[in-house]
Amino acid sequence: MPIIAPSLLAADFSNLRQEMSAVVEAPWLHLDVMDGHFVPNISFGMPVIKALRPHSQAKFDVHLMIDPVDPYLEATAKAGADHITVHVEGNAHLHRTLQTIHALGCKAGVAICPATPPEALSEVMDLVDIILVMTVNPGFGGQKFLHGQPAKIRTLAEMIRRSGRDITLGVDGGIDETTTPLVTEAGATMLVAGSAIFGKGDRKAAIEGMRAVARPARRA
């Protein structure tokens, strides 16, 4: 059963506390921090995460789409992040960044954009706790799923198997009841979903619907 992580980027920003309560059964909440530099959009920052933290028991899965990222790691942890995910792209010292995240008491994640090969993560498999495959180009919610990405998910699932470590393999972008079977069969164990959940009137039913269509990973 994959972890479902509703993405607050698709929620009603004028009522985020109520939006969180509508997905209370989800074990993770995904929070996208965008700076208008690394990606062409601006979302929210650490004060919003800090304000929301007391109102949810879910793990706060914070995805930093910012550049530079290292100066904001401590503030992200202090705001209440349980997991901090950074991008492999443009990070010349990823090894050190992941060590810093661990030192701050958080699980360390690495996100990988559609055009980046999975082998870019080969040197950090001993440090990463979460791998997040972007199945759209990052920056905006509501985009269409890129159907070339399941092959990358399969490769990363095999890399995780060979590492012998318990690494969560997540996907983010265009995830709904149609694409859930594709990515879970490829090996995804965590699904970030925005409009597929917050775009529905019954958020609980939307989450249950995605779980219902998930398929076991298929070994090559």
Closest CA relative to residue 129, chosen from 151, 149, 106, 113: 106
With beta carbons less than 8 A apart as the criterion, state whether 125 and 167 touch.
Answer: yes
Q: How many CB atoms lie within 10 A of CB 15?
A: 11
* Set 12, 32, 35, 129: catalytic member: 32
Please give the DSSP secondary-structure letter assigned to residue 128. Answer: -
Of the candidates 61, 172, 176, 202, the residue annotated as catalytic is: 172
Peptide bond into 68 cis (omega under 30): yes
172 an active-site residue? yes
CA of 184: how far to CAs of 12, 159, 188, 217, in Å?
28, 16, 5, 6
Task: Let me know if 126 is a catalytic residue.
Answer: no
Residues 76 and 84: their CA atoms lie apart, in Å, by 8
User: So which residues are the catalytic ones?
Assistant: 32, 172
